[in-house]
Chain A
Amino acid sequence: MTEAATAQELTITRTFDAPRELVWKAWTDPEHLARWWGPRGRSTPVESITIDLRPGGTFRVSSISDEHGDEMVTIGTFRELVEPERLVLDEAAEDSWHDGAESEVTLIELEDGRTEMRFRATIHTSQEMIGIAEVGITSGFDRLAEQLAAR
């Protein structure tokens, strides 16, 4: 991780109409992951998934665009695994647009049998990405100016 990296946090809470053990399985079993990892418009072949379910073990999922076949790989290491309630995954900066990210998944059993999932991602961004983003904002304005001028 570079010195200039800054971190940003993203939290999402969802309630699923499923028992906690099943939600845990959905996160940790390749057969399940292949069915939802996606996102839409992408396929996740089960044979592309490697899960070594132990602290320090590897998590690798690849999703392939249905339209043009390009591949997006997520590679991480399990930092924490407490079945069936909590997992923490460290995503490597290598081969990624970010400078490292951590994803925390906490599963809470609700009284009605449903499961609350709390997802928290901390994403580190490099100075380089911030630079690209700044260019993006500026060239966005340039384009707007171009469009206005063309009218």
Chain B
Amino acid sequence: MTTDQLTTTFAALADPTRRAILARLAQGEATVNELAEPFPITLQAVSKHVKVLERAGLIARGRSAQMRPSRLQGTGLKQAADWLAEYREFWDDRFDRLDDHLRDIQRGPRHD
């Protein structure tokens, strides 16, 4: 899993509506219409949340063109479950970049 994907997963989980959608899907697959029921937001807004979750690999959607029910996706969720290990990797990667940056600015030719 790349750290960009990891960030996408954390960002996807950052929204309470999206977490509620995941909790609903834990009970079984559902269409966007079904998912929208408990929320005081538009179908379009729910559809947007579903897309974010899909991109983060947390859910998958069926192929049937009309309904496209969503269901939880194990791999993405498993990674979220291992979030502490993932979080370490996330910071490690960030500090690699910090290391590179510190090297770059000290090495660079300075003519000031």
Binding site for B on A (CB under 8 A): 8, 10, 12, 14, 16-18, 22-23, 26, 32, 35-42, 63, 65-68, 70-72, 95-97, 117, 119, 121, 123, 125, 128-129, 131-137, 139-144
Contacts and interface: CB of A to CB of B under 8 A. Distances in A.
23 contacts: A10-B87, A16-B98, A16-B99, A22-B106, A26-B101, A26-B102, A32-B101, A38-B94, A42-B4, A63-B7, A65-B4, A67-B4, A70-B8, A72-B14, A97-B83, A119-B91, A128-B23, A136-B74, A136-B76, A140-B78, A141-B74, A143-B73, A144-B74
B4 A132 contact: no
A23 to B, nearest CB: 7
A39 B98 contact: no
The prevalent SS among residues of B at the interface is helix
Given A39-B97, A70-B11, A140-B75, 10 more contacts: A16-B102, A17-B106, A22-B102, A35-B104, A72-B8, A72-B14, A96-B14, A132-B19, A136-B80, A139-B77
A40 to B, nearest CB: 6
Given A23-B102, A36-B97, A123 B84 contact: yes
B75 to A, nearest CB: 7
A132 B90 CA distance: 20
Contacts of A119: 91, 95
Given A42-B7, A67-B4, A36 B81 contact: no
A39 B104 CA distance: 17
B78 A137 contact: yes
B77 A132 contact: yes
Interface in B97-112: 97-106
A95 B14 contact: yes
B97 A72 contact: no
Given A39-B7, A39-B94, A97-B13, A139 B73 contact: yes
B24 to A, nearest CB: 11
Contact of B77 (A37, A41, A125, A140): A140
